Amino acid sequence: MLKDYLKLHFIVLLWGFTAILGKLLTVPPVELVFWRTLLASAGLGLLLVGRRVTWRIPPGQVLRLLAVGSLVAAHWITFFLAARLSSVSVCLAGLATLALWTSLLEPLLLWRRVRGYEVGLGLITMVGLYLVSQAELDQLLGLGVAVVSAGLSALFSVLNAKLVKAHPPLRLTFYEMLGACVSIAIFFPVYSHFFTQGQGLQLAWHGYDWLWLAILAGVCTVYAFSASVELMKRISAFAVNLTTNLEPVYGIAMAVAIYWLHTKGLLHAPQFNQERMSTGFYLGTLLILFSVLIHPLVARLVKDKEPEHVPVIPV
């Protein structure tokens, strides 16, 4: 069990590393997500064949999964855009509002009752978000985009909770990755004409982009997802949910460590110059993370029904 828990924390560490990879890559966010979903869907397709999981499902179900996959594309594009517009730490602080978004969307879309403790934790999250925004006014746009990204991720998770009951996780994720890739490809003409300032698509890789994309798609997506699904067979949903909430903690810690190494001349990483934050930022982030980490504990304390862990698309 110790080995399984350490592996789970390593997987969450990989998910927290994605924002750092987004900062290292030179490919713009839309093209970046296109490459990530293309490579990830290819890798997941190979896993489907290798594990002999059938990929044949009714056309109506295929269209539904592809449509939900477009939400993944929108979530990842806004996530990497937020990391470019601000620091990794601010981006992950905004993404940590996922639990707040979920508590708002689930009653609306799943017609379940509003839980009092979620309202209270949501208020704590909003106070933390206010402190972060006031402390980092120069990164307000990036924070706002990260909060929108968290909302898209929450919407995807709520919709995925229904779909995961009808499909094996591997097949489900394959079609959603494919849907994300196809939706971006369809969006390319509009994006190229209106959003690239006349530069057109920038799909070419430069420098170490090939390495960062290989880690992003192969390690942080395909490996992390398949390994997490395997661990869910042996670890309780409560433990998985609680550990997954540590993703922003790990991500911010890694970003701060890279900044420290850069300032000491031990690592050349000018992309991380923005990682020096004020006291107000860390106070606000601590409040947000407190509300996120305490959520499953409070749910168990009040004997609320523990939700089944839904395999999610990692950031």
pLDDT value of position 61: 87
- 75 with 156: CB under 8 angstroms? yes
Q: Per the domain annotation, does 113 fall within a domain?
A: yes
pLDDT value of position 78: 96
Q: What backbone torsions phi and psi does residue 7 show, to the nearest 5 degrees?
A: -65, -40
DSSP state of 215: I
pLDDT value of position 305: 54
For the cut 90, the answer to whether the pLDDT of residue 120 exceeds it is no
DSSP state of 195: S
Average pLDDT, the chain: 86
More confident residue, 106 or 86: 86
Structurally, how many domains does the chain consist of? 1
Q: Per the domain annotation, does 314 fall within a domain?
A: no
User: Of 227, 174, 172, whose CA–CA distance to 11 is shortest?
Assistant: 227
Name the band, by pLDDT with cuts 50, 70 and 90, for residue 283: very high
The tokens for 167 are 């499909």
- % of the chain exceeding 70 in pLDDT: 95
Q: Per the domain annotation, does 73 fall within a domain?
A: yes
* CA–CA dist 295, 292 (Å, integer): 5
Q: What backbone torsions phi and psi does residue 208 show, to the nearest 5 degrees?
A: -95, 20
Q: Per the domain annotation, does 313 fall within a domain?
A: no
* CA–CA dist 202, 264 (Å, integer): 34
Residues 6+ away with beta carbon under 8 Å from 282: none
Q: Per the domain annotation, does 251 fall within a domain?
A: yes
Q: What is the mean pLDDT of residues 218-247?
A: 80
Q: What is the mean pLDDT of residues 274-291?
A: 87
Q: What is the mean pLDDT of residues 217-243?
A: 80
Integer-rounded Cα Rg, in Å, for the chain is: 19
Q: Which domain holds residue 156?
A: 2-301
pLDDT value of position 294: 84
Name the band, by pLDDT with cuts 50, 70 and 90, for residue 179: very high
CA distances from 200 to 27, 37, 171, 195 (A): 13, 20, 34, 9
- 171 with 57: CB under 8 angstroms? yes
Q: What is the mean pLDDT of residues 78-107?
A: 89
Select, from the ranges 99-103, 148-152, 308-312, the one with the highest average predicted confidence (pLDDT).
Answer: 148-152
- % of the chain exceeding 90 in pLDDT: 37
Q: Per the domain annotation, does 19 fall within a domain?
A: yes
Q: What is the mean pLDDT of residues 82-102?
A: 89
The tokens for 288 are 């947000």
Q: Per the domain annotation, does 99 fall within a domain?
A: yes
Q: What is the mean pLDDT of residues 172-199?
A: 91
- The dihedral over CA atoms of 73, 79, 85, 90, expressed in degrees to the nearest 10, equals 170
Would the CA dihedral through 112, 114, 116, 120 be positive or negative? positive
pLDDT value of position 55: 79
For the cut 70, the answer to whether the pLDDT of residue 238 exceeds it is no
- 17 with 254: CB under 8 angstroms? yes
State pLDDT tens for residues 51-81.
888 878 888 888 999 999 999 999 999 999 9
The tokens for 94 are 């905004």
Name the band, by pLDDT with cuts 50, 70 and 90, for residue 291: confident
For the cut 90, the answer to whether the pLDDT of residue 235 exceeds it is no
Q: What is the mean pLDDT of residues 189-204?
A: 89
pLDDT value of position 313: 58
User: Of 265, 299, 286, 252, whose CA–CA distance to 86 is shortest?
Assistant: 252
State pLDDT tens for residues 132-147.
888 888 889 999 999 9
More confident residue, 231 or 27: 27
Q: Per the domain annotation, does 182 fall within a domain?
A: yes
How much of the chain is helix, strand and coil, in % rounded to 5? 75, 0, 25
